Structure 1
Amino acid sequence: MSYQEEEQAGLRRRRSKQAIALAMQGRWREAVVANQSLIESFPNDVNAYNRLGRAHMELGEYSQAKEAYSRAIELAPYNMIAKKNLERLSRLGEAMVGLQADSQQVEPQQFVEETGKAGVVNLYRLGTREILAKMVAGDRVYLKIDG
């Protein structure tokens, strides 16, 4: 790898980390700008398109999210992240009108699993497909026990 290629790879890594950090802080508008800037420099960056789609979804900008995920699939036809989110957007359909985007900051520590301190359970009767389509990783849910 040449010096120039190494510099480009380093720049791409740094800018990707910045975009991820903005998203983790719930700074979605800034995350959109960061990912768009990254795409201008690296137009085939599939991960940047996935992040851009997520940021647009969080802002309630569903048509832009659809465009970003569609571009990710053009670049990588087997991209499961983009496919899953496009499917989610199509399931939402008209329910997207008036849907409020919730951009609360999510603490990454909530997702860390520690051996002996965390468990995995199966949940049943979660809700309708329409309700589930509106949910994303990081949404807060509350466990309600009936009976």
Structure 2
Amino acid sequence: MPTLKQLKAVAISAARCGNWQQALDINQQITELEPNNVNALNRIGVAYAQSKQTAKSVKAFKQVLAIDRHNLIAKKHLAKLNNHNSLSAPIFSKQQFIEEPGKTKVVELHRLAGKSVLQSLCVGSSCELVRKKRYISIEVNDQYVGALPEDLSFRLCKLITQGNEYGCLVRSVTDTSCSVYLQETKRSKRNENIHSFPPGKFIAIMNDEIDESILIDDTPVTDVFKPDSEKSEDVQEEINPNVAAMP
């Protein structure tokens, strides 16, 4: 008989592939073994929602709140369903959220958009980096979400001007915060010896709980990357100082 850990892995894998019926079946097996497993119940709620079975989805999230009345995931999903909003399923790929020293970084956004915009986001959404005069703004479907810190914006503007390219995904989101996953997707010859995000600034601690938090879409992930201080990095020594800042 499969262990709970094995069942959980299969359930998450099924959801990642969009096989919501299998995800539902496996999570129900988990709740037969552990009736108060709120993570499995939340996954059941998501699976029902993706299968357009709203009433059953609402029931699953209410079960969660009966067990844990402070569960933020169930609360947020219920609020969306009660407002007749759909639960967007994140789009996954094998490379999402994989840490590569010097090439990736998780960043908390500043100058956040309003609550309604943040509530419309889902983990895994693709973002655009839009260069402004003093910072880089992050947008999803042409909708402003927030901005990168000014020191990081300055660094990336320089590197982009010199030929680098970057991808960006929503990493976690709540009503009052949003973090994004930045990844260097192209390093120009001019920048071949320059790290976009100098190594040693964070440590990756990947585990099964990260898959779960991404799957259920709304849990802020605070233990995947442990960044040091966001103090300004000394980019002047690494990046050609003759390149003017972006207008």
Normalized against structure 1, the TM-score is what?
Answer: 0.66
Larger Rg: 2
Counterpart selection for 1:92 from 74, 77, 80:
80
CA contact (8 A) 1:15 1:34 kept: yes
Report SS of the residue matched to 1:119.
strand
* Alignment CA distance shift 1:90-1:32 (3 Å): closer
Shift, 1:63, TM fit: 4.3
Aligned residues: 133
- Same amino acid, percent of matched pairs: 26
Matches of residues 63-102 of structure 1 in structure 2 within 5 Å?
63-77=55-69, 83-89=71-77, 91-92=79-80, 96-97=83-84, 99=85, 102=88
Structure 1 residue runs without a partner (length 5+): 1-6
In structure 2, the residue matched to 1:33 is 25
In structure 1, the residue matched to 2:131 is 145
Shift, 1:109, TM fit: 2.2
| More strand per residue | 2
In structure 2, the residue matched to 1:116 is 102
* Alignment CA distance shift 1:137-1:40 (3 Å): same
Report SS of the residue matched to 1:43.
coil
In structure 1, the residue matched to 2:34 is 42
CA contact (8 A) 1:12 1:38 kept: yes
Partner deviation per Cα, 1:74-106 (whole Å, 9 max, x = no partner): 33456xxxx222332355366x43x45544641
In structure 1, the residue matched to 2:120 is 134
Question: Is the deviation greater in 101-110 or in 45-54?
Answer: 101-110
User: What amino acid is the match of 2:128?
Assistant: Y
* Alignment CA distance shift 1:67-1:100 (3 Å): closer
In 1, the alpha carbon distance for the partners of 2:61 and 2:117 equals 21
Partner deviation per Cα, 1:111-143 (whole Å, 9 max, x = no partner): 112222212334244433223212222222223
CA-atom RMSD, angstroms? 3.1
CA contact (8 A) 1:26 1:106 kept: no
| More helix per residue | 1
Report SS of the residue matched to 2:95.
helix
